[in-house]
Amino acid sequence: MDAKKDQRLMVDNLVIEDIVRHANLSGSETVLEVGAGNGHLTVELAEHAGNVIAVEKDRELCKTLRERVKRCGNVTVLEGDALKLKLPACDKIVSNLPYSVSRRITVRLLEHGFREAFLLYQREFAQKLAAKPGGENYRFVTALVQSTCAVTLLMDVPASAFRPQPRVSSTLVMLAQRIRPCNEYVAFLQELFNHKNKNVSNILGKLQGGISASWLSKKPVDMKPEELAGLFALVSGKSIDGKGG
């Protein structure tokens, strides 16, 4: 991924204030910001949170970011790829995410764990996160997010809020995490949705013992998130957080 080509810097101060207002931060909370850019959102976060950990991949932007947050006193800048770095513990995540890695970084953040995340996505992707079973937008990431989090679409953000301007609008999404998924559950869902229009019985093969015929005749794309979580528990003997059933 070309980091510069994918970078959309937030420049609208009113939008930034709205995002931070939705996050409802307190002075006791540690906030993780992925893709901090040149720090416009970072500075606003620092005024409301106890500590801010800002991750930025681009070296030039990191220089600008470090200079901008010098006066804050509660911001730590990590230079590197959030898909590869060991991410620190946090209470909340507030980020303007790169469109091209939306799915991958969402999975990474879910596996990392948080209480609440306020994430700015391309509007089309945000709608996938809130999609219902059976629809075209119901995907692997939909099922993963909805089986581990409560999903709320908070507000749309126009392209004019960014530089350079994208061709599409964005949507701020709140994820309130209930369960931190284990790697096995993530891989299980991925495999199911690689064959989302096949019957479960055809996907599971020899692993289908003890599963009701009604579930075996369903397709993953038609199953509710809680059904998919239940299917994983039957196949693996574990709950989706990896603990024994």
Query: For 8-48, how does the pLDDT look when each residue is reduced to its tens digit (9 = 90+)?
Result: 888 899 999 999 999 999 999 999 999 999 999 999 999 99
Alpha-carbon distances, residue 140 vs 19, 143, 220 (angstroms): 27, 5, 9
Average pLDDT over residues 164-178: 95
Is a pLDDT exceeding 50 seen at residue 136? yes
Q: What is the pLDDT of residues 48-101, one digit of tens each?
A: 999 999 999 999 999 999 999 999 999 999 999 999 999 999 999 999 998 899
161 C-beta neighbours (distance < 10 Å), count: 23
Which residues have CB under 8 Å from 28's CB, separation 6+?
Answer: 50
Q: What is the pLDDT of residues 104-119, one digit of tens each?
A: 999 999 999 999 999 9
Task: Give the pLDDT confidence score for residue 110 in this predicted structure.
Answer: 98
DSSP for residue 132 = P
Task: Give the pLDDT confidence score for residue 6 in this predicted structure.
Answer: 60
**Residue labelled with tokens 């574990």:** 238
Beta strand 116-122 pairing with 92-96: parallel
Burial 113-151 (b: 16+ CB within 10 A, else e): bbebbbbbbbbebbbbbebebeeeebbbbbbbbbbbbeb
Q: Is 53 left (phi over 0), alpha (psi -120 to 50) or beta?
A: beta
Q: How confident is the model at residue 205 (pLDDT cuts 50, 70, 90)?
A: confident
Of 119, 181, 120, 173, residue with least CA distance to 150: 173
Q: How confident is the model at residue 210 (pLDDT cuts 50, 70, 90)?
A: confident
Please check whether residue 114 is in contact with residue 93, taking contact to mean a CB–CB distance below 8 angstroms.
Answer: yes
Is a pLDDT exceeding 80 seen at residue 4? no
Cα separation, 136 vs 157, in Å, equals 24
Is a pLDDT exceeding 60 seen at residue 1? no
Cα separation, 37 vs 82, in Å, equals 13
Task: Give the pLDDT confidence score for residue 245 in this predicted structure.
Answer: 58
Question: Cα 159 from chain centroid?
Answer: 21
The answer to pTM > 0.85 is yes
Cα separation, 234 vs 227, in Å, equals 11
**Domains in the chain, start-ordered, CATH in brackets?**
3-177 (3.40.50.150), 183-236 (no CATH)
Please check whether residue 171 is in contact with residue 139, taking contact to mean a CB–CB distance below 8 angstroms.
Answer: no
**74 is written with which tokens?**
């509660």
